[in-house]
Amino acid sequence: MTAVQDARTRELLDRTIPEAIDYAAEQWPDNTALTFIEGGGPTLTWRELREGISRVRTGLESLGVAPGDKVGILLRNQVEFPLTWLAVIEAGAVAVPMNPKYTPREMDFVLEDAGATWMVAASDVAGSALTDEAVGPVRADRIVTVGDSVPGTTDFAELQRSAPTPRAHRADRLDVVNIQFTSGTTGLPKGCLLTHAYWLELGIYGSAMYPGRPPQRILADHPFYYMQNQAYLMLALTGGGALYVTAGLSRRKFMSWLVDHQIDMAWIDEGMLDLPESPADQQLALKYAPVAALPPVYHQALEKRFGLRARELYASTEVGNGTHVPYDRDDLVGSGSMGICYPNRESKVIDANGDEVPAGRSGELCLRGSGMMLGYHNRPEVNAELFLPGGWFRTGDIVRKDADGLHYYEGRTRDIIRRSGENIAAAEVEMQILMLPGVAEVGVIPVPDPVRDEEVKAVIVIEEGAPLTAQEVADWCKQGLAPFKVPRYVEFRDSLPYTASGKVAKATLRSEASTGDVFDLKAP
């Protein structure tokens, strides 16, 4: 950390998000804060972003949004998302980011679970979800729509025309600003309670890890309704940089984004090695890049071809930043290490009894420190299971920690499928399939995929005599699940393997060859 970064850390650590935005608008008023590089989106400086947030916050307050209110946000990667997210926080309300691809059932669940009474949504999403002049628990007169007019709702443009009023709400750093839903491992999604401190420490300690100046041109190619783009915005906020926002992830466009916009921070993976070689490979402004679970065999080749340093970073919605490999540790290239703890983190590794294991032994990673989630919203029983005495949080990931404090990832205990950047709870897909008449048993597992990382596979035992087809399974799933959760593969078997505790043996399913008929529902 440089002297400038250290001074900025001290300046920002005690602030709230609105106060940090004030700081950015004062320090870098004419620096670009946001630019949307697809679809003709706008570019805003930090001064313009500060004013835009004030206008939208004033408009929300004039409608009746009050401190503590929960506000669902169903927007895509458009400028209205960061404006709304930050305006809701500034009003003292709580943002509930949601995936616009949710089905009405999924929308209703998240809104009900969060206790949302307001919503800001893309007009096509809100219009299609409106039933009896409401979306779930949120009445139409409490819905703000972006895009074409939706009868009974308020146009977002009205908020933007509001004359800014002084900020009235005075927040504490530990006030909840987000209920950030993440895929659950025991059924439906759970909302992480995230604070001002959570987001600002993500940005402060994240930007401090870069040698010299923090990143100034950050590629924001993940969905804004997940933590990545929100975290990138905090990285820009605390370092005076800018987000270069895309409509979403694209392997085909990735290199042109890097080159055309001289991106100096982007999340990368080994898939870059599959791109056609080009003179631009060695001309990137991207010199330091985070990766996650990069196969060690590709690490050196990735750095050599693109002239950069790739370093492992371990993070999650629950803990924010956890561990990282410093950029000066060339000796760890290809080692598989996910590094040391961030300055605001401590770690320990425990066995099945909750006891800490000696250095070099594998076990479940536990983390603690400032700027982590406060817990899961409305899930006291889960919080009691995952939060240990002393503030330790059980991550569910299996790691090995050596005597030097270096961590090595070995697997996960939680049943999550990672598909094209989306986290999918196997249990949620299983719950939907088990409601289909004719299904006796089901196990949902990930299948490796070179394009999407993992695909969803459902292994099903049919009730005797039931005339069930793979397409009927997929059609049923589409009724209650977002498209990205619908299985691509369906296998019918006579039986499933079970553990001694009576659960489907997922490890066995993943490791053994198929024994029944397998259907690829995306095959031509």
pLDDT in tens, 177-234: 999 998 654 456 899 999 999 999 999 999 999 998 899 999 999 999 999 999 999 9
Confidence of residue 523 (pLDDT cuts 50, 70, 90): low
> Which tokens belong to 186?
């025991």
> Which tokens belong to 284?
């990137």
Alpha-carbon distance of 113 to 191, in angstroms, equals: 8
Q: What local confidence, expressed as pLDDT, does residue 435 receive? A: 86
Structural domain boundaries of the chain?
A: 3-171, 198-412, 417-520
Q: Residue length, the chain? A: 524
> Which tokens belong to 252?
């085909």
Q: What is the pLDDT of residues 52-90, one digit of tens each?
A: 999 999 999 999 999 999 999 999 999 999 999 999 999
Q: What local confidence, expressed as pLDDT, does residue 35 receive? A: 98
Alpha-carbon distance of 179 to 72, in angstroms, equals: 9
The region of weakest confidence among 27-31, 77-81, 102-106 is: 102-106
Distance (Å) of CA 211 to CA 2, 74, 203, 309: 8, 36, 15, 11
Alpha-carbon distance of 422 to 81, in angstroms, equals: 19
Q: What local confidence, expressed as pLDDT, does residue 524 receive? A: 47
Strand partners, 35: 43, 244
Read off the pLDDT of each residue in 24-38 and give the average, rounded to a whole number: 96
Element (H, E) at 108: helix 104-114
Q: What local confidence, expressed as pLDDT, does residue 183 receive? A: 67
Question: Does residue 484 register a pLDDT over 80?
Answer: yes
Q: What local confidence, expressed as pLDDT, does residue 296 receive? A: 92
Query: Which range has highest mean pLDDT (365-379, 400-414, 499-513)?
Result: 365-379
Q: What is the pLDDT of residues 228-273, one digit of tens each?
A: 999 999 999 999 999 999 999 999 999 999 999 999 999 999 999 9
Q: What local confidence, expressed as pLDDT, does residue 412 receive? A: 64
Contacts of 342 (CB under 8 A, 6+ apart): 205, 209, 321, 322, 323, 324, 369
CB 78 within 8 A of CB 157: no
CB 136 within 8 A of CB 111: yes
Instruction: Tell me the backbone φ, ψ of residue 106, rounded to 5 degrees.
Output: -70, -40
> Which tokens belong to 236?
């820009």
Q: What local confidence, expressed as pLDDT, does residue 6 receive? A: 73
Question: Does residue 486 register a pLDDT over 90?
Answer: yes
Exposed, middle or buried by CB within 10 Å (0-12, 13-18, 19+), for 464?
exposed
Q: What local confidence, expressed as pLDDT, does residue 434 receive? A: 87
Q: What CATH fold (topology level) applies to the domain 3-171? A: Rossmann fold (3.40.50)
Read off the pLDDT of each residue in 442-466 and give the average, rounded to a whole number: 91
CB 338 within 8 A of CB 321: no
* Domains 3-171 and 198-412 in one fold: yes
CATH code for 417-520?
3.30.300.30
User: What's CA 364's distance to the chain center, in Å?
Assistant: 22
Q: In sequence order, which ranges of 288-391 are alpha helices (DSSP H)?
A: 296-306, 380-386
CATH code for 198-412?
3.40.50.12780
Residue whose pair of structure tokens reads 């371990």 in the numeric block: 314
Question: Does residue 508 register a pLDDT over 90?
Answer: no
168, HSE (Cβ side, Cα atoms, 13 Å): 11
CB 77 within 8 A of CB 229: yes
Confidence of residue 450 (pLDDT cuts 50, 70, 90): confident
> Which tokens belong to 288?
């330091």
Q: What local confidence, expressed as pLDDT, does residue 375 receive? A: 97
Per-chain mean pLDDT for the chain? 92
Q: Which residue has the higher pLDDT, 61 or 452?
A: 61
Q: What angle do CA 285, 288, 292 make, to 5 degrees?
A: 130
Confidence of residue 521 (pLDDT cuts 50, 70, 90): confident
Distance (Å) of CA 309 to CA 26, 118, 171, 301: 33, 44, 39, 11
pTM for this predicted structure:
0.83
Question: Does residue 3 register a pLDDT over 60?
Answer: no
Question: Does residue 511 register a pLDDT over 70?
Answer: yes
Helix, strand, or coil (residue 458): strand
Contacts of 341 (CB under 8 A, 6+ apart): 322, 323, 347, 367, 369, 405
Q: What is the pLDDT of residues 366-395, one digit of tens each?
A: 999 999 999 999 999 999 999 999 999 999
Report the candidate in 378, 47, 358 with the shortest Cα–Cα distance to residue 181: 378
Helix, strand, or coil (residue 252): coil
